[in-house]
Structure 1
């Protein structure tokens, strides 16, 4: 007799239930083992990055399986807001999707349609073959799928910044993530994500989201900047990544035991 499964809470559910800002980190190494270590850290979110990391569908699936045993909620960033790619990520069991580079309302609305079955959207129907429904072991999956998936869109450009209030008001957009690195580049401030103008722009998006009732998060690997965004009302903050933690910690070991090399370039901060 088949087992009927209860779906886990979505990222949107977690945000609604939270009585504090949530904190998370990026999983960029492409390793299920590293993703599992991150998931057991005590942080709230593990963000599996399919945009800037050397990973594909099989790696994302393995990381989702590794993270599933832990309380941390997995959020998967697609490489692009393409309905076919979003369909594949949903079918392999990614409940919580992050779409990068969303610049306006029409694009946000298209992403909402891409993650919902007809008549609410255009997601292709293949759940009986897919992990998303646990191969039809989640009762009424097709009818309930739009409630079992969360969509976060990323604002990373001046165009997205100008449309932030309208994007936040789109029905079906569950959360926003601001990407200060690309936003800084779009503002002509490449590599200066802590520039006052960039910080002020991030805070503008946070205010727009709060006015619309849509949670806004942000990347902030600098603790002081992360604290500032939380004070400004950020609902969640990504405060580190597996690869940057390893890079900085290994550099610290080299400095401690070998010493500084004055000719070596200073490590870049994210």
Structure 2
């Protein structure tokens, strides 16, 4: 007799059941080891990135395997929100999806159709071949598949911010995720995530999500920014990434143990004679 499986609760269910905002970290190196380290940290969510990382479908699957033993919610960001790509990520068992660069309600509605089976959508039916249903060991998967998925769409442009109310109104969009870096760039403020106009746009989006009764998430690696967005009512804040933490920690080691050359007033190394 095969083992009958029950899928873990979705990210949406975890947010709804929590009496506090959730806090997460990124796994961006494409490494199952890194993902497992983040998963065991005590954070609530591991965001497995395949947009700005070397991760492909197989390495995302390896990361899902690695974090499965831990009480965290894995949120997977595919590189693109087309139906074929989303189908493949769903089939490897990504229950929680973050789709990047969603600017309009029409785009959001097409993404919802891509993650739902007919007649509600256009997702191809391959569950018997796929980890999503644990190879048909999840009883009733086809009938209940929509309830096993949480869909966040990423609001990260001035156009998307202007359309956030319409995006939130799309049935099947479970939440919105604000990306201040791309949002700043689209506003002509490249690299200025803390610019008052960018911050105001994110805060307005969080308020819109609260009004719509849907969760909002945001990237905020600076502690003061994370505190601000948590205080504003964000349901989920991401406070660090594996690659950034490794970069800053190793730089600190170098600064601590390697003597630095003296510099002159211009910042150039001082000549020694």
TM-score range, shorter chain: over 0.9
Question: Cα deviations across residues 224-270 of structure 1 (Å, max 9, x unaligned)?
Answer: 010000111100101000000000000000000014467899xxxxx
- Unaligned 5+ runs, structure 1: 266-270
Verify: 1:186 aligned to 2:195, yes or no: no
What's the counterpart of residue 201 of structure 2?
201
Distance change >3 Å, CA 147–CA 262, structure 1 → 2: farther
Distance change >3 Å, CA 121–CA 222, structure 1 → 2: same
Describe the SS at the equivalent of 1:205.
helix
Verify: 1:127 aligned to 2:127, yes or no: yes
In the TM superposition, residue 175 of structure 1 has moved relative to its aligned partner by 1.0
Number of aligned residues: 265
Q: How does 1:66-215 map to 2 (within 5 A)?
A: 66-215=66-215
In the TM superposition, residue 168 of structure 1 has moved relative to its aligned partner by 1.0
Q: How does 1:204-243 map to 2 (within 5 A)?
A: 204-243=204-243
Q: Report the Cα distance in structure 2 between the residues aligned to 1:120 and 1:11, rounded to whole angstroms.
A: 21
Q: Do the aligned partners of 1:169 and 1:214 also contact (CA within 8 Å) in 2? A: no
Question: Cα deviations across residues 35-64 of structure 1 (Å, max 9, x unaligned)?
Answer: 000000000000000100001000000000
Q: Report the Cα distance in structure 2 between the residues aligned to 1:260 and 1:3, rounded to whole angstroms.
A: 60
Describe the SS at the equivalent of 1:54.
coil
Distance change >3 Å, CA 198–CA 129, structure 1 → 2: same
Question: Cα deviations across residues 198-218 of structure 1 (Å, max 9, x unaligned)?
Answer: 111000100110000110110
TM-score (norm 1): 0.96
Larger Rg: 2
What's the counterpart of residue 252 of structure 1?
252
Question: Cα deviations across residues 56-93 of structure 1 (Å, max 9, x unaligned)?
Answer: 00000000000000011000001011110000000001
What's the counterpart of residue 268 of structure 1?
none
What's the counterpart of residue 9 of structure 2?
9
- Unaligned 5+ runs, structure 2: 269-273
What's the counterpart of residue 51 of structure 1?
51
In the TM superposition, residue 3 of structure 1 has moved relative to its aligned partner by 1.1
Q: How does 1:25-64 map to 2 (within 5 A)?
A: 25-64=25-64
What's the counterpart of residue 271 of structure 2?
none
Q: Report the Cα distance in structure 2 between the residues aligned to 1:25 and 1:50, rounded to whole angstroms.
A: 14
Q: Report the Cα distance in structure 1 between the residues aligned to 2:129 and 2:58, rounded to whole angstroms.
A: 16
CA RMSD of the aligned region, Å?
Answer: 1.3
Q: Do the aligned partners of 1:28 and 1:48 also contact (CA within 8 Å) in 2? A: yes
Question: Cα deviations across residues 3-32 of structure 1 (Å, max 9, x unaligned)?
Answer: 111111001101111111100011001110
Question: Cα deviations across residues 150-204 of structure 1 (Å, max 9, x unaligned)?
Answer: 1000000011000001111111111110000000000000000011111110001
